[in-house]
A and B are shown apart, each in its own frame.
Chain A
Amino acid sequence: MKTVILLDAAAIDRAVMRMAHEIVEHNPQPDMLAFVGIRTHGAPLARRLAAKVGEICSRTFPIGELDVSMHRDDLDLRDTPRAVGASHIVFDVDDKTIVLVDDVLFKGRTIRAAMDELNDFGRPQCIQLAVLVDRGHRELPIRADFVGKNVPTALSEQVKVLLTEVDGKDEVLLQ
């Protein structure tokens, strides 16, 4: 099985910077903007995005984390059930423009679970989706508003995102 480096640290940084600018362009009134990252890797990405957008707009934005384990629809089917963690959303979700952040967009089920869970916290005005990598093979009608890199993949392949905050380095691999 060969491994290809899709994005190195510098490329990741550039992608995040570009996405931050796109978010600002897309949201001319950023007052109600908030960032919610999906565990595990979506969370540090959300923090990076929020920081970069914050720099551009000279303000800070609320950041939250979702652990979508309790909302997954494939709980029974996983071979190794993952441990469940707690979600942390300390700000009021009502009327906000939530930018949902995840590392890889694949079948779309994680995003569906995240939207369900977000709804339990309140009623956002709108939800936008930012992902570092879109690898195709959607099973649900979900699309990302902001994409770091589009990578066509085979189903058998794996896209692995490593981030310094979690894994000690920045790298996106295709296996």
Chain B
Amino acid sequence: MKPLRIKGGRVIDPANRVDEVCDIFVRDGKIVPSAQASRGDEVEVIDARGKIVVPGLIDMHVHLREPGRSDQETIETGASCAARGGFTSVVCMPNTSPTADNTSTIAFIKQRAAAVGCVNVFPTGAITKGLKGEELAPIGSLKRAGVVAITDDGSCVQNNDLMRRAVEYAKMFELPVLDHCQDYNLTANGVAHEGYWSAVLGLRGWPAVGEDVIVARNVLLAELTDWRIHCQHVSSARSVELIREAKRRGVRISAEVTPHHFTLTDEYLKDYDSNFKMNPPLRTTRDRDALLAGLADGTIDCIVSDHAPHCTHEKEVEFDMAPFGIIGLETELALALELTQKKLMTLPKLVEKFTVNPARLLGLNKGTLSDGADADITLIDLDRQWKYDVGKSASKSRNSPFNGWDLHGKAMMTIVDGKIVWRDE
């Protein structure tokens, strides 16, 4: 592997407060000062003029479906999607089959990732066995097996006492707890946000309070246990308010949001297209605006895709019966860049949401371009106009609501451990 010189790009490295045009040097898979780069070897020069150079982007919420549903996605294809989207690290969820609630499954995932994954794959382990919300999973062993966090994502622990004990236990192993905030009773049988559009369309409603109630529970438990609870894919205005207020008090609560939640609303359900059906559901413009405000003021720490592949034949059914979720790794960055285009935040602030913030929340040694750091680097062309064609996706699945959308801004090159794993033609 040749040493690299990434030349002339605008380097944005929030961890080191860098935002200037300069070169980045890579040797033996690490970022190095310029002097150490060549050492007599031929250096490959990558022309980054006119591009943005950032630490490799991190997506801390994806579903790779392997083991169990390789028809929907595999670690290999999911990692390819990530690379195309400009992501050098992904954190995968445990609702596989078998569930990632045991060390063997974690070992399998890590092994597959090392063998065929072109980006870094960090597994999470389950909070409860089988994600059933009844008994704790072997959290200590899962930590030893290499999980970076625990979560029941896909499901949500309903028993508050069990959740409390899980958080206390996880704290011992310094494992953050990620929570898919959903009260099963309030959201029973729901398929769309409970509001005007669900009333018009005759779809069972899923009230925002079904998420807010669990966010509130998590705030209180995080306070009680003095440990880190991270609310996944927040979607409602009230969730943002609760988290903002809790952070002000110093509670160790954090939050993430998906591009579809800050871009789309429940009005998009008009044609009963199941590519707009996800959990949590798309909500109103008021909720969307609250999510944007939460991103802007730092209440929401990260942006994630919640990449959730489903086979076409599974999604192409009556709305009520379709599974929840969409793929998103390849459109994530462009949709996020709209926030800077709309002047809702600066580019460096946006980059934080994909780098320092997730790295900090999960204790990953990633997300910076410091000397000695792993050479995970993403090159972005802010001006590139392109049309998303889901037919050409690296995913095995095609469930995206953004097919045919004109997007502005794209990852042009993804480098992992100093190796170029993807470049745009």
Do A and B touch directly, given a CB cutoff of 8 Å in the complex? no
B residues at A contact (CB < 8 Å):
none
A residues at B contact (CB < 8 Å):
none
